[in-house]
Amino acid sequence: MRAGRAIWYRGRGVPIVSDGWTLLIWLGAAGCVAAGLAGLVLPVLPGAPLLLIGLVLAAWAEDFAYVGPGTLVVLGVLAALTYVVDFLASALGARRFGASSRAIVGAALGGLVGLLFGLAGVLLGPFVGAVLGELSTRRGLADAGRAGIGATLGLAVGLALKIALAVSMLALFLVDRFFWGTS
């Protein structure tokens, strides 16, 4: 299905949609982008994939006339990087605070298990995992607490990096659409 042929621009570049399918694609794109942005901070929604799907739908709505496959591949890589950042941030934060390798593995596993328990699990999972990992090496509670704090700070840094990657995805799409895109 070709979607982009039904949009004309009149006046100041305001789109006029005359095709029902194109309108549905645009609405789907807007919904996916909004849900993707919310999903960056809400653990129940896969933020980066939804954002990517929304941007692909937006490109499709214009028949890929402005945003092409190269840009979409770069957007896909940025979306994948959000997951790498998410999993590594807690573990590296724990390492920065002197955690053992077991605590780092515990923080990563705690983050994964925490996804099953909603927002509280996402926030507490890396902390609890790092503390349990550190305690398994027979270190004291103070060292375990430091490892847990490092994992939690890493989680906060990871969230900031995920948001930065998502903003980069949106900026790249908009710059390609309005400044670099071919028509």
- Give me the number of domains the chain comprises: 1
pLDDT of residue 78: 96
Residue-range definition of the domain harbouring residue 68 = 4-180
Report the largest interatomic distance among the alpha carbons of the chain, rounded to a whole angstrom: 71
pLDDT of residue 18: 58
pLDDT of residue 4: 47
Could you give the C-alpha distances from 33 to 13, 169, 170, 175, 177, in angstroms and in order? 21, 11, 9, 16, 16
CA angle in degrees (0–180, nearest 5) for 72-73-78: 95
63 Rama sector, left if φ>0, alpha if ψ -120 to 50, beta otherwise: left
pLDDT of residue 13: 53
- Name residue 7's beta-bridge partners: 17
Q: pLDDT for 5-28, tens place per residue?
A: 545 554 555 555 557 788 899 999
pLDDT of residue 54: 97
The C-alpha atoms of residue 166 and residue 24 are separated, in whole angstroms, by 24
pLDDT of residue 170: 96
The C-alpha atoms of residue 102 and residue 134 are separated, in whole angstroms, by 6
Are the C-beta atoms of residues 168 and 51 closer than 8 Å to each other? no
Report residues of the chain scoring pLDDT below 70. 1-18, 43, 90-91, 181-183
